[in-house]
Amino acid sequence: MRLISGKYGGRVIRTAEGPGYRPATSKVRQAVFSMLESRGICWDGLRVADMFAGSGALAIEALSRGAAFAYFVEKNGRAASLISGNLKDLGVSPSEYRVAKADLFKVLSKSPDKPYDLIFIDPPYGYNLLPGALDAVLDKGWLAEDGFVLAEVEDRAGLPQSEHAQSLDLLVNKLYGQTRILLWQK
């Protein structure tokens, strides 16, 4: 998979293959970053979290564009190792990221040291994990004031019925083939 823009733009990262892995296409990633930038995201100094990270492509792209720190949470050990390997191959400083090989809901059961400005939530399709992840992110203070949450879910998924969703403004609900992109701001 080729990174789109920034200091690592044009570089290729490895992705995991197998059931449940569906790295975002370059078309979807380009649309995601365009919609974020059109809403005023300034990458310099941004703290990003990539939940259900998979390949980590979304947060790696954010680092490429100037994000200061990215936290990757991926349960699958092989995928977490690929993320770490890609970051090392790109020459990303270890002070700019953390890769957690862990169950997301265990991670989200505790508050972070510092909230994140942008959180990507890209759960495996068909398990309805977005509502619980969104509730945990908001309940435990993972999202900074005025922060953004961007979710990538299957096209048939509706808006999550989250107990905390009223604290978010839905900015985008758009389909890209079989992928629905939802973008909220706190």
Kindly list the domain boundaries of the chain, sorted by start residue.
Answer: 26-185
Q: Which two tokens stand for residue 98?
A: 């953390």
Q: Is 39 left (phi over 0), alpha (psi -120 to 50) or beta?
A: alpha
pLDDT (tens, 9 = 90+) of the chain, 186 residues, equals: 888 889 998 898 888 765 555 556 678 889 999 999 999 999 999 999 999 999 999 999 999 999 999 999 999 999 999 999 999 999 999 999 999 999 999 999 999 999 999 999 999 888 889 999 999 999 999 999 999 999 999 887 767 776 666 789 999 999 988 889 999 999
pTM: 0.93
Amino acid (one-letter) located at 8: Y
| Tokens at 58, concatenated | 């979304």
Phi-psi region of 6 (alpha: psi -120 to 50; beta: other; left: phi over 0): left
Lookup result for tokens 């490895």? 14
Q: What are phi and psi of 148, to 5 degrees?
A: -115, 145
Q: 162: which 2 tokens?
A: 């989250």
Domain 26-185 superfamily per CATH: Vaccinia Virus protein VP39 (3.40.50.150)
| DSSP single-letter state for residue 24 | P
